Amino acid sequence: MSPTNEMVVLVDQNDREIGLMEKLEAHQKGLLHRAFSVLIFNEKGEMLIQKRAQSKYHSGGLWSNACCSHPRPEESLETAAFRRLQEEINLSASCSPIFSFVYKVELDNQLIEHELDHVLIGYSESAGSINPEEVEDLKFVSVEYLRMDMILHPNNYTEWFKIILLKHFYQLKEHLDAQQHLVHESR
């Protein structure tokens, strides 16, 4: 199945399923659907980011989080995240959901991203490897650098990634601080 004829799960504002639709059609019509964004961190607290392949049907050539996609019908967020990490960057990491948000933005190619985006977090010391159909580049960077660069060069980043790091940063930071506290207690 090609990426543009995959089905997405249409949802209401409370993430209740209301139907299925072909992915490209959902983006053309701007209908709310379930999505996820995976954030991967290493022991230094650096975040793994990817530069999307130019050939992607939207947001090609922009920097984004480690991976993002849509769960298939009947697929859990954790399973979908694990699957897409392997497909996009050949990385195996378990991820856990930490928060979600709804957003709607107009993208290139006359598409509308209207998603209930579940943010998941995982940990890995490996950056994986590039699947050139999905990704042009991968690197770990500090969150502080990333946030500053997003403010200075917003057109270099995907819309959902900017929302996660600039509008929902305190939810993310709260989770990372709690995780760091657990690591220090276990030592």
Q: Which residues of the chain carry a pLDDT beneath 50?
A: 1-3, 181, 184
Q: Which of 67, 88, 113, 115 is catalytic?
A: 115
In tens, the pLDDT along 54-70 reads: 999 888 899 999 999 99
Is there a catalytic annotation at residue 115?
yes
Q: What is the pTM of this model?
A: 0.90
CB 127, CB 84: distance < 8 Å: no
Q: Please tell me the predicted confidence (pLDDT) of residue 57.
A: 83
CATH 3.90.79.10 fits 3-186, yes or no: yes
Which residues lie below 8 Å from residue 97, measured CB to CB, with a gap of 6+?
77, 78, 118, 119, 120
Q: Which of 68, 95, 134, 159 is catalytic?
A: 68
CB 78, CB 120: distance < 8 Å: yes
The residue ranges of every structural domain in the chain are 3-186
Is there a catalytic annotation at residue 68?
yes
Q: Please tell me the predicted confidence (pLDDT) of residue 177.
A: 75
